[in-house]
Each structure stands twice: as C-alpha cells, then as structure tokens.
C-alpha cells in the first residue's frame, strides 16, 4: 500500500505525464499554437528554401551550430550521470548530506534509488543528444547535394531527417528540465511536488505561442 509520500510522488510524476500528453495532443491539433509545432513549420520552409535556392553553405553552418550545441549538452549530461553514479557509490556521503539538509533519518535505500533515477535521466538525455548529432550530420550531407535525381528519396526526406534530430534534441532538453524536480526529490516528496509545479508553469509559457 502506498504511503502519503508515495502518493505525493506518484501525483507529481502523473502531472508531468498528463502535461506532455496534452502537449502532444495540442501539437497534433493546432501546431501553430505551440513553439514545437511552429518550429516544425519554420524548419520545413527553411529546408525548402535552402534546397530551392542552393544556399547549401548557410544550411551546413546552421546544422553545424546545432551539432555543437548537442555535443556540449551530451558531454555535460554524461559527466553529470557518471558523477551522480559516483555519489551513489558512497552512501555515507549522501546520507550525511541529507541529514544536514534537515532529514534526520534518511532512508539510504530510497536515496540510492533516487540517485540512480537521476543518473538514468541524464543518461537518457545523453543518448538522445547523440542521436540528434547523428541525424543532424546526415542532414548536413543532404543539404549540400545539388541533385536528388540519382537518389532513392525526394529532397523532402532531408526534412524528415532534421525532424528526427530535432525530436531527440527536444527529449534531451526535457531530461535537463526534469532533473530539477528530481534533485528536489532528494529533500522529500513535497519538494518534488513544488519543483514539478514550478517546472510545469515554466514549460507552459515556453511551449505555447498564443
């Protein structure tokens, strides 16, 4: 049977899940009303303009900037993930740390599980950023092509590749955002709930356009 702390934690994660399901529905119904949907529309027009006008140099430079950003975020995510795992391997440190923060009797097994979850969150972010780099690299070769007549796919396929890279970049950034309530969770379930509500408020303004 779930305790009060377990119910609060479950409710916080349920709010995050509900928000992103609502966001996915909103993007499908009215993409121009969301920043992600509008970015897709702009990206589609940008790719078509780049290919039509032959401005391959601009396209490659833009994709290079995306790759550099994803590389930095991927490197940071894996370093944090490994650092948190190293922290989890030293129970005496984080139990003492939690005691200083006000938890007089920290549950080491629960704290360990939270640290592993935080580390997993950053590892997932790292994995998505590396996939984003992969797709952006593929797209950069496609943008530089002058003719698609000898290829088994139309020019619009470049947009599909970029969309996949953008999707993984989006998921990776969500992993960074999610780390805030997860870290606050170390202080207790009420901190998790507070961090989740604050994060949802920020995401609401970041994700909407109207």
pLDDT of residue 104: 44
pLDDT of residue 74: 95
> From the CB of residue 154, how many other CB atoms can be counted at a distance below 10 Å?
10
Facing residues of 208 across strands? Answer: 34
State the residue for tokens 């950023």.
129
Cα–Cα distance between 104 and 68 in angstroms, integer? 44
Structure tokens at 1: 């049977």
With CA atoms as reference, report the closest residue to 81 among 48, 133, 125: 125
Cα–Cα distance between 35 and 205 in angstroms, integer? 10
Cα–Cα distance between 32 and 188 in angstroms, integer? 38
Domain boundaries, the chain: 39-207
CA angle 206–186–167, rounded 5-degree value: 35
Q: Compute the half-sphere exposure of residue 47: CA atoms within 13 Å on the CB side of its CA.
A: 23
Facing residues of 15 across strands? Answer: none
pLDDT in tens for each of the 210 residues of the chain?
567 777 888 889 999 999 999 999 998 888 888 888 888 888 888 877 777 776 667 777 888 888 999 999 999 999 999 988 887 777 666 666 666 555 544 556 777 788 889 999 999 999 999 999 999 888 877 776 666 555 556 667 778 888 899 999 999 999 999 999 998 888 888 899 999 999 999 999 888 865
**Is residue 124 within 8 Å of residue 175, measured between CB atoms?**
yes
In 3-state terms, what secondary structure has residue 30? coil
Structure tokens at 84: 């948190």
DSSP string, 39-59: HHHHHHHHHHHHHHHT-HHHH
Would you say the C-alpha torsion 44, 45, 51, 55 has a positive or negative sign? negative
Helices (H), 54-107: 56-88, 91-100
Backbone angles phi, psi at 195, to 5 degrees: -65, -35
**Is residue 129 within 8 Å of residue 56, measured between CB atoms?**
no
Backbone angles phi, psi at 66, to 5 degrees: -65, -40
């Amino acid at each position: 049977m779930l305790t009060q702390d377990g119910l609060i934690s479950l409710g916080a994660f349920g709010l995050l899940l509900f928000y992103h399901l609502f966001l996915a529905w909103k993007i499908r119904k009215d993409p121009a009303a969301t920043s992600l949907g509008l970015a897709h529309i702009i990206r589609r027009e940008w790719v078509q303009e780049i290919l039509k006008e032959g401005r391959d140099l601009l396209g490659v430079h833009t994709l290079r900037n995306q790759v550099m950003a994803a590389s930095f975020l991927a490197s940071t995510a894996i370093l944090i993930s490994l650092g948190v795992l190293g922290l989890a391997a030293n129970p005496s440190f984080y139990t003492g740390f939690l005691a200083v923060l006000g938890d007089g009797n920290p549950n080491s097994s629960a704290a360990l599980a939270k640290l592993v979850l935080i580390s997993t969150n950053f590892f997932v972010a790292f994995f998505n950023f590396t996939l984003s780099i992969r797709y952006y690299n593929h797209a950069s070769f496609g943008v530089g092509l002058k003719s698609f007549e000898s290829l088994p796919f139309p020019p619009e396929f470049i947009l599909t590749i970029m969309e996949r890279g953008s999707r993984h970049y989006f998921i990776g950034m969500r992993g960074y955002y999610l780390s805030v309530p997860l870290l606050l969770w170390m202080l207790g379930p009420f901190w998790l709930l507070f961090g989740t509500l604050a994060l949802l408020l920020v995401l609401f303004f970041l994700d909407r356009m109207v």
